[in-house]
Amino acid sequence: MKYPLLLPLLLLGTVAALHLDKDAPYLKSAKIQADMGQDGDGSGKQERESALTAEVIETEGEEVEASGYQDTFEVKEAVESDPAASPKDLVCPKEEDTIQIQENTGCKNCHFLLVLTPSTFDNAQRICRRCYHGNLVSIHSYNFNYHVHCIASRANQAQVWIGGIMKGTCLWQKFYWTDGSCWNFGFWAPGQPGNGKGHCVAMSTKEGRWQRICCKSHLPFVCSY
């Protein structure tokens, strides 16, 4: 009498087992997709963090490049304009070939030196840097231009180098100072700088006005340190 009751129960159990087996792949697939979603979120987070890190590194690289302009100018520009020149061949001017002047510019620790020995622009900058730990002089006001002119007027040539140089091509050309300071003043001669034929800036010893001339010209120069 017990067997007729057991038979329906066995049939119900078999049907239930079949349904579970049928649903199992879907349950397993859902679990895999959920796990992949979690991994995807983690991977996305890592990608975002990597991108942010790369951006920070790139930005820092730009800052380093900007702050290292002076060293880049000293090495790269000298090699481009005069491949035979070498820092090892640099000879500091003799004392009798220089005039040291302390002008009343309002800066107690500022020193200016007129080097009478003519040199190319690049070598002049290297001498200011290596021999006097300074740069070719930069000028940011009319008053200061007057003081530099007073120094330059003691030179034995019609022009002297100051620290201005033009960089770039075509419409993107800009002027820079070799000491890295802001270009915020100009005292150009008539027709300048548009009609200039060079990329380096010289000051007239007669009028104190500026001209663009060839960087390979040999002129006296004024160092600031």
Structural domains counted in the chain: 2
Q: pLDDT value at position 90?
A: 83
Domain that holds residue 217: 84-224
Residues 110 and 208 in one domain: yes
pLDDT tens digits for the chain (225 residues)? 444 555 445 555 554 444 444 444 433 444 434 344 444 444 444 444 444 333 333 333 333 333 334 444 443 444 344 444 455 678 999 999 999 887 666 677 788 999 999 999 999 999 999 999 999 999 999 999 999 999 999 999 999 999 999 998 777 889 999 999 999 999 999 999 998 889 999 999 999 999 999 999 999 999 999
Residues 50 and 100 in one domain: no
Residues 22 and 112 in one domain: no
Q: pLDDT value at position 109?
A: 77
**SS3 sequence, the chain?**
CHHHHHHHHHHHHHHHHHHHHHHHHHHHHHHHHHHHHHHHHHHHHHHHHHHHHHHHHHHHHHHHHHHCHHHHHHHHHHHHHCCCCCHHHCCCCCHHHEEEECCCCCCCCCCEEEEEEEECHHHHHHHHHHHHCCEECCCCCHHHHHHHHHHHCCCCCCEEEEEEEEECCHHHCEEEECCCCCCCCCCECCCCCCCCCCCEEEEECCCCCEEEECCCCCEEEEEEC
Residues 151 and 216 in one domain: yes
Residues 15 and 114 in one domain: no
Residues 110 and 30 in one domain: no
| Domain boundary, last residue among 39, 67, 95 | 67
Q: pLDDT value at position 110?
A: 84
Residues 210 and 120 in one domain: yes
Residues 200 and 101 in one domain: yes
